[in-house]
Amino acid sequence: MEFTKDYYEKSEILKAIAHPVRLCIVRGLIDNQCNVTKMQECLNLPQSTVSQHLTKLKAAGIIEGKRNGLEICYKVVNEDVKKIIEALFA
């Protein structure tokens, strides 16, 4: 079987959401856009840890951040990921 570019891209998305914290972040961001401070309080993790997870999710093209003054508000932009989360937590 020949693996296409599509298979590699999909596997990178799955790797990115495979961590429990990132999975929780993505699930939360599907319903509510929010900033790092709010996520940090919700997850009870240091801001630097949350930021590292957000960086990985951004690099995988799963989330985007929009600057609003001093804060950045994040949201899920990958429709495939939304479907995956929906299936996992149905």
Over residues 32-80, the pLDDT tens digits come to: 888 888 898 889 999 999 999 999 999 999 999 999 898 999 999 999 9
- β strands within 1-90, DSSP E: 63-68, 71-76
Rounded to an integer, what distance in angstroms lies between the CA atom of residue 65 and that of residue 60? Answer: 13
Rounded to an integer, what distance in angstroms lies between the CA atom of residue 21 and that of residue 27? Answer: 10
Confidence of residue 31 (pLDDT cuts 50, 70, 90): confident
Name the residue with tokens 């495939």.
Answer: 80
Assess if CATH 3.40.50.720 describes domain 5-88: no
Does pTM surpass 0.85? Answer: yes
Dihedral angle computed from the Cα positions of residues 39, 44, 49 and 55, in that order, rounded to the nearest 10 degrees: -20
